């Protein structure tokens, strides 16, 4: 899970458009791949020099350039010059703290989103900064490191499955967004399982560890929410944008992705409600236990304190205490004490403390 | 009641429009029925092959095709081809996790809603995914299993009761929506009774079981709210949509359904407030009981601890303790102790602890 | 005060427009009265047959037909046919659970509101369903039972006081709305007094009864709020509606009523804040009392427990305990105990527990 | 501070426009003054008969008529007839419970606001109902009693300071509004000081009195908020109104007043946050004290209870108890007890209870 | 950190446009500097007389006049006359309590913002009032004291770095805004570190000091939020304003700044959530400790109280107590007591109190 405030200040004061990579470097090598296709043709290649991709700018085929690793500023810069990208786009690609947004430029549409992942070791989700540049016949995608949720899309392009090979670059961009959004459900499921297992633990025994887990869950849900809320606006904006890059037929698909983001937000809110409820249950369990402890103390103390007083009386050393001399004094006192104890117990039963 | 996160991830990565049934299969057999009618004619038949229904596409009569069971993808696919349904409609029909929504297509209107049911054994409500496709002269409805709230509508069509036989397919679609929404009141009543009975139980005795019931009620209300909120937007959208499939005369009826959804939301909010109030009452009852326990302990302890001290004094074995030799020493000490006890009791009465 | 969920389900499944009376019957006899007036003429009559009122439909004078008791469906139906009312209006008149709303029809405006009353015996407010139908030269009002807040308006019409006799049916409808809204202030005042008296009680002594009263007040305020919120939208809607039945000169009066509803909402919110504050005061009073109880226990126990230990020491029966033989042993021990007690008391004073 | 619900019900049922003074009478005598000025001329006079002011209606000079005391309905009525004021304006002037609002009439603009004052004796703020009627060349202001925040404006007019003598009646109305709004800052400062002093008291010692003060502050802030919120809408509405009485050059000044109301709202919200924080601090101080009390009890009890048991053992009167005969029995027991006590203390230190 | 209510009242009652410096004087000397540049030329000079800057008003070059220290009203007034600034602008420049806003005048755009700083000694952030006046070819900036976040911008202008020298005055104004907003991240980072360090402290040991720190953090975040929220509207308004002073090409940059303010708000909300969570953790830690204390007391008391009672019995001085004479009486009693103690301990273990 993310820290609430990340280092962003190293860019403070720099002129806008200065290309600085913000965030930690998550990979050593930068990997560049392109897929170029139309309904009939298809080629895919991993290249070491970004300029190999420039040939496709002029062709009518759809080209998808994918770049894993965004710390090599020179590559981004070259690409920017070749495709005529606005300095703010380049800045947005490099700034891993960029809030999800889309920006409508004349020559292209820029989309920045968060791709979620789940770290099984740390038992928490993390976000990866992904940017898309959508032009009339190309999509360029930037990721922080190798490994993504786009493999099924590549397969569909390679094998000409579905309608993707017949559609334009806007449909490709939509498919990428859809893959990212669909993956949120996978993360939410993991969180859902975690919520359930902590919930069961809590009913069995409310420990302080559980409390810390509940709070960490809460923070994780807030973190997720922060990633999804702007996503919703983003996709709504894209769907309603007047850009000519997005065809009418693709908008209905974007509306579908929009519905998914709403569903994700609903699920997050449900989980938040559940977690809040767990906190309430925890707190009242604690107070119930306290109550039980107090009751035991009270019962024991209120029974034995008067009895101890009685035995104390006959432990006094007064010379003239007639009861001490009686033949059945001891027995009578024991009897009286038994009576006191029994009436106390009856009183407690009446009060429903037993 | 539903789990917060349901399995949805098995569709993640699939191309949009891939037909996969999401959710558990709730019935074995798929049951297909059609009703075809206009003001004068009427026929109803249960068919085993969906293609028997295709003849009605061209006729001017209103046709209602109802399909119980949505796991047979081939049936849905055939229907889709025949009626020219968009791939996203088919996906929406099959996805039982679909959030209530409506979508305006050129050739039809697609509506997805939740039909509520109440499981008397589990003592909780559940939702069934219902989809409607409204065309110029047909309505196709899809349900997860046999058994629904539409029987009165079928009766009205069969017996030509009310104005339904004189109206078009849009009025039929409205009638179906109205039936689903009206059924929410039935569920809310059951919940209302549950709330009341728990409330009474709580006043009699605040147990931890009641606390868990309150929390489960709270979750159930959140679940209901999640179903109704999008319904409200949906019906508002339908009523204001510019689709030519919905005639002006039907819109006033949709406005009426809209008012009902608002009333349902109001009722849910009232129940939520009541349940929250119950939680407060529970918590302060618990703390009041704690208080009562503490008071008993305090009264007993503060009366007897000083007395025990006094008897302890005269239990000391000092050689030279003049009081021990006195003739009335014992009596005086008993008297002093009685005085202490009485003044303590008076003090407690003054403090209103007794 | 109303239950959160009322029986509504008996209409579920019925065709829309089926006339069924929803709610309990509050009167036996249905009472029909009409007032017919213009600037110069005036007549008023209680009739037994609704058809006596139909003559006024065509006359240019303003006619106010008032019907007390809405369980006689035949009367409502006849009226509906004569005045050409939409089936949904008739349904709205009969449904006492109808949420406050107004609906703009071609031939008339339909308004449903809640008229509040206060039951002095049950010490709580209740709502009565009132409907108004406003046509070009008539107003028809429906109430659940005899007895209303409209008497001053009748007086003004009878005696030609104010400008009501010079104005049209829209001004009459406004006057009725205004009377209903003004009556809310009366109810709020009663509630305000209740809040104050409970508040004073609470400061004197925080009992569990007060807690229950606070919660019932809270529920009552929520109930009121539920009646007023839709009223606000209703009146705003009326004022801004494009209906030709409402003249420009009447709109400024509606704006005034609107201001009153806002003021009512403000007052309800203030009362809610006050009641919430009372709850906080109650809870901290309880916890303060607990605190006081604990302090007494602690002071008594911490003073006497060490003393009891000391006297216990010299109650031991060891053969060789030199102190026991001392001449001033007893005196010294008593002195030591006094010192312990005093230093304890000083410690408590320093800690501000005394 | 105001009661949550004031008497308003005595107007319920009256026809709208019936002139009734709502609220308590705050002054005996009604004081009428006028100021009449343009850039060159100026006259000011206190008159006993309102009709003396009517001469200025026709003159092009700006006239400001100020009336202190609104219980003389005849004066208001005469004025209304002369200046052609709508009955609802007159009602609004007399109703001291009127919510702040402005209303755009053809012949004038009506503004109702709350002027705040601070009662140093009761240590609380109060609101006075002030109404303004702005016409093409006059402003009439109504106040509940003598004494206001307008003196500096009168001075500016008398001495022709600033631009007020060169501007029209709209600028005068703006100046009055500005004076009222500026005075809110004075009240807020007083409240701010109160908040601070209670805050310091609270840190020194959390008493129940402080709790009551916090709650009364909270209520006072809610009361203020209720006065300012509608003010904000009011001024925004005025600034954006299409009335010809407000010149373009004055609107920028109204925008400035609007900014001030926003700042006042911000300040109130800040104070509310601070007060809420104080409540939290109070509650956790109380619970911390409770904690401290419990610790002392626990430490004393857990050290001495076992010791008392030990001395109890050797107080038993068994014939055969070898330890009692030992030469060093007493010494050994004292040693054991010292050991027990020390180890207890070490345990508590480890637990950080000491 | 700021007090909730600052002295503002000394301007109450003054005519609008009266130039009064509101707030404390933060510098003695007023420092005036200008930078004048276009793509080819550049000059920078610190002047002692403001009139030296007036020469640039007519030149087509971009001029940036910066004034550190706003208590010299004469300077501001002279500047205002020369550049034709509206009296409200001058008032806004001098009022250090001015809420962030922008105002569109005919001859210029006025922007008031808060520049944040961090006082390392007091460990808290503070705000400085900064105003910008943007004209067709000039920007005038006003600060409360020497020292700002604009140095990098001056460097860029001096060295002709980036595109600033090629752009107009609107780009300069944007750059200044961007520098101020970027600096918020620096402050947030410091706060973030503080939150983290308190969080760690809290887990180690929940002290009352930590509670006060949490509350002061909360207040600081509220203070920050109050500065940023209006900033967001401000920049949104600027970007969408129809002023001709802001060129189309600059708007995309303003949109970027807008995104940054949203991100800042998000971060503040995250921090607030974290701090709220810390408060919850603190409170439940406290209650857990209380619980632990109670358990120890209960265990000790419930074990020893019955034992003390038993030894009390055999401390009684009855003449006829057969057990006292038994040979193994003492041993048997000790055994019985051991049994009681062990069964108690087993009971506690079963209850999971040990």
pLDDT in tens, B66-107: 999 888 888 899 999 989 899 889 989 998 888 899 988 888
Average pLDDT, chain D: 86
E strand or H helix that includes residue A34 = strand A31-37
Residue that is written with structure tokens 């022709």 in the block: D160
Regarding beta strands A138-143 and A124-134, do their DSSP bridges make them parallel or antiparallel, or are they unpaired? Answer: antiparallel
pLDDT in tens, C172-187: 999 999 999 999 998 9
Residues 6+ apart with CB under 8 A from A312: B307, B308, B311, B312, B315, E312
Task: Give the model confidence (pLDDT) of B221-245 as tens digits.
Answer: 888 888 888 999 999 999 988 888 8
Kindly list the distances between the CA atom of residue A52 and the CA atoms of A60, A169, C274, in Å, as whole numbers in the listed order. Answer: 17, 20, 72
Give the whole-angstrom CA distance, residue A298 versus residue B296. 8
Asked whether the beta carbons of residue D333 and residue C321 sit closer than 8 angstroms, the reply is: no
Alpha-carbon span B153 to B172, nearest angstrom: 9
- Work out the minimum CA distance from A1 to partner chain B, whole angstroms: 20
Read off the pLDDT of each residue in A137-157 and give the average, rounded to a whole number: 90
C-alpha closest to that of E238 among E157, E182, E178:
E178
Spell out which residues of chain A touch residue B340, defining contact as CB-CB under 8 Å.
none
User: What is the chain C residue with the closest CA to B295?
Assistant: C293
- pLDDT, one tens digit per residue, over A193-248 is 999 888 888 877 777 788 888 888 888 888 888 888 899 999 999 998 888 889 98
The torsion angles phi and psi of D228, rounded to 5 degrees, stand at: -85, -40
Q: Residue B97: its pLDDT value, please?
A: 85
Q: Cβ of A5 and E253 within 8 Å?
A: no
pLDDT at residue E18 in the model = 64
pLDDT score of D7 more than 70 = no
Q: How far apart are CA A182 and CA A224, in angstroms?
A: 14
The helix/strand count (H/E) of chain C reads as 8, 7
pLDDT in tens, E281-339: 888 888 787 788 888 888 888 899 999 999 898 888 888 888 888 888 888 989 999 99
Q: Which long-range contacts (CB under 8 A, 24 or more apart) does D285-288 make?
A: D285/D202, D285/D206, D285/E208, D286/C284, D286/C287, D286/C288, D286/C291, D286/D206, D287/C287, D287/E283, D287/E286, D287/E287, D287/E290, D288/E208, D288/E286
Q: What are phi and psi of B279, to 5 degrees?
A: -60, -45
For residue A146, pLDDT beyond 90 = no
- Give the nearest partner residue to A304 out of E185, E267, E305, using CB atoms: E305
Q: What is the pLDDT of residues C320-354, one digit of tens each?
A: 888 888 888 888 989 999 999 999 899 888 887 77
Sign of CA dihedral E67, E70, E73, E77: positive
**Residue D311's closest CA among E51, E272, A312, E225?**
A312
Cα A265 from Cα E316, distance rounded (Å): 74
Answer yes or no: do C271 and D12 touch at CB < 8 A. Answer: no
pLDDT in tens, E222-280: 888 888 889 999 999 999 888 888 998 899 899 999 999 999 998 998 898 888 888 88
C192: chain D residues, CB-CB within 8 Å: 3-5
Q: List all chains that touch chain B, counting a touch as 3 or more CB pairs closer than 8 Å.
A: A, C
For D30, phi then psi, to 5°, come to -95, 130
What pLDDT shows up at residue D141?
95
Q: Is A321 in Cβ contact with B5 (below 8 Å)?
A: no
Could you report the per-residue pLDDT of D222-249, keeping only the tens digit for each? 888 888 889 999 999 999 888 888 998 8
Cα–Cα dist A188/C232, whole Å: 41
d(CA A68, CA A83): 18
User: For residue C40, with 0-12 CB atoms within 10 Å meaning exposed, 13-18 middle and 19 or more buried, which class applies?
Assistant: exposed
- Average pLDDT across chain E, whole number: 86
Q: Say what the pLDDT of residue E10 is.
A: 52
Name all contacts of A36-41 with Cβ < 8 Å and 24+ positions apart: A36/A61, A36/A62, A36/A63, A36/A64, A37/A61, A37/A62, A37/A157, A37/A165, A38/A62, A38/A165, A39/A160, A39/A165, A39/A166
- The confidence band for D297, taking pLDDT boundaries of 50, 70 and 90, is confident
List pLDDT tens digits, range A165-185: 989 999 999 999 999 999 999
Q: Which of E208, E230, E330 sits opposite D288 (nearest CB)?
A: E208
pLDDT at B179 over 80: yes
Of C16, C215, C307, the CB nearest to B256: C16
Q: What is the pLDDT of residue D4?
A: 44
Identity of the residue in E267, E301, E317 whose CB atom sits nearest the CB atom of A317? E317
Q: Which residues of D touch C340 (CB under 8 A)?
A: none
Q: Which of C99, C211, C316 sits opposite B266 (nearest CB)?
A: C99
Give me the percent of chain D exceeding a pLDDT of 70.
94
Q: How far is CA A322 from the centre of its chain?
A: 80
Chain D residue with CA closest to C272: the answer is D4
E10 vs D17: CA distance, rounded Å? 42
Question: What pLDDT does B56 receive?
Answer: 85
Strand A31-37 vs strand A42-47: parallel, antiparallel, or unpaired? antiparallel
Place of tokens 């869950």: A217
Copy the structure tokens of residue E57.
């008003």
pLDDT of A14-34, one tens digit each? 665 567 777 777 777 889 999
Q: What angle do CA C35, C37, C41 make, to 5 degrees?
A: 125
Please compute the mean of the pLDDT values over residues B294-313 and round it to a whole number. Answer: 88
C71, C21 contact by CB (below 8 A): yes
Q: A195 and B289 in contact by Cβ < 8 A?
A: no
User: Which chains pack against E, by 3+ Cβ pairs within 8 A?
Assistant: A, D
Which of C302, C312, C316 lies at the smallest CB-CB distance from D300?
A: C302
Please give the mean pLDDT across all residues of chain A.
86
**Half-sphere exposure (Cβ direction) of E291: Cα atoms closer than 13 Å:** 21
Query: Which pair of structure tokens corresponds to residue D3?
Result: 């009661």
Please name which of D337, D330, D335 lies closest in space to residue D314, comparing C-alpha atoms. D330
Q: Which residues of B touch C131 (CB under 8 A)?
A: none
- By 3-state DSSP, what share of chain E in percent is helix, strand and coil, each rounded to 5? 55, 15, 30
Scored b (16 or more CB within 10 A) or e, B192-221 reads bebbeebbeebeeebeeebbebbbbbbbbb
% of chain E exceeding 90 in pLDDT: 30
Q: List helix spans (H) across D205-247.
A: 208-240
Partners of C308 on chain B (C-beta within 8 Å) are: 305, 308-309, 312
pLDDT at E2: 42
Mean pLDDT of E125-140: 92
Kindly state the tokens that stand for E177: 């805004």
Reading the block at residue D154, the tokens are 């009168």
* E78 HSE (CA, 13 A, CB side): 12
Cα separation, B211 vs B286, in Å, equals: 11
Chain D residues inside the 8 Å CB shell of E289:
291
CB atoms within 10 A of CB A335: 11
> Are the C-beta atoms of residues B60 and B67 closer than 8 Å to each other?
no
Choose, out of D1, D4, D212, the residue to mutate when testing the contact with C (most C CBs < 10 Å). Answer: D4
Residue A278 pLDDT > 70: yes
Q: Look at chain E and count its residues.
A: 354
- With contacts defined as CB-CB under 8 Å, which chain D residues touch C183? 12-13
Contacts of C136 (CB under 8 A, 6+ apart): C169, C245
Residue A217: closest C-alpha in chain E: E277
Percent of chain E residues topping a pLDDT of 70: 94
Long-range contacts of D31-34 (CB under 8 A, 24+ apart): D31/D67, D31/D68, D31/D69, D31/D146, D32/D65, D32/D66, D32/D67, D32/D68, D32/D75, D33/D65, D33/D66, D34/D63, D34/D64, D34/D65, D34/D66
- Candidate ranges A118-122, B141-145, C15-19, E51-55; pick with highest mean pLDDT: B141-145
- Judge whether B174 and B182 are in contact, CB under 8 Å: no
Q: Are A278 and A270 in contact (CB under 8 A)?
A: no
Nearest to C309 among D223, D286, D311 (CB): D311
Q: Kindly state the tokens that stand for E186.
A: 């620096």
> Is C317 within 8 Å of D315 when comparing Cβ atoms?
yes
pLDDT > 90? residue D34: yes
């Amino acid at each position: 899970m993310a820290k609430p405030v990340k280092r962003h200040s190293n860019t403070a004061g720099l002129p806008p458009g200065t290309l600085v990579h913000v965030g930690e470097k998550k990979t050593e090598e930068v990997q560049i791949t392109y897929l170029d296709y139309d309904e009939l043709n298809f080629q895919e290649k991993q290249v070491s020099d970004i300029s190999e991709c420039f040939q496709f700018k002029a062709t009518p085929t759809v080209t998808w350039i994918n770049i894993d690793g965004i710390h090599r500023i020179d590559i981004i810069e070259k690409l920017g010059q070749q495709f005529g990208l606005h300095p703010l786009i380049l800045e947005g690609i490099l700034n891993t703290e960029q809030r999800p947004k889309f920006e409508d430029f004349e020559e292209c549409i820029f989309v920045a989103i968060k791709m979620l992942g789940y770290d099984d070791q740390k038992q928490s989700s993390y976000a990866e900064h992904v940017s898309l540049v959508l032009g009339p016949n190309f999509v360029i995608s930037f990721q922080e490191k190798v490994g993504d949720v786009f493999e099924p899309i590549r397969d569909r392009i390679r094998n000409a499955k579905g309608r993707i090979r017949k559609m334009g670059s806007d449909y490709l961009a939509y498919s990428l967004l859809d893959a990212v959004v669909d993956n949120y459900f996978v993360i939410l499921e993991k969180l859902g399982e975690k919520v359930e297992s902590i919930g069961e633990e809590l009913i069995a025994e409310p420990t302080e560890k559980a409390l810390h887990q509940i709070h960490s869950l809460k923070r994780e849900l807030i973190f997720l929410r922060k990633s999804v809320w702007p996503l919703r606006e983003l996709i709504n904006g894209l769907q309603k944008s007047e850009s000519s890059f997005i065809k009418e037929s693709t908008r209905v698909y974007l509306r579908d992705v929009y519905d998914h983001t709403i569903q994700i937000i609903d699920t997050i809110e449900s989980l938040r409600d559940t977690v809040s409820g767990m906190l309430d249950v925890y707190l009242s369990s604690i107070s119930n236990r306290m109550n039980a402890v107090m009751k035991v103390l009270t019962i024991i103390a209120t029974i034995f304190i008067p009895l101890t007083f009685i035995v104390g009386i006959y432990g006094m050393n007064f010379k003239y205490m007639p009861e001490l001399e009686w033949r059945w004094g001891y027995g009578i006192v024991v009897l009286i004490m038994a009576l006191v104890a029994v009436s106390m117990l009856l009183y407690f039963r009446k009060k429903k403390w037993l």
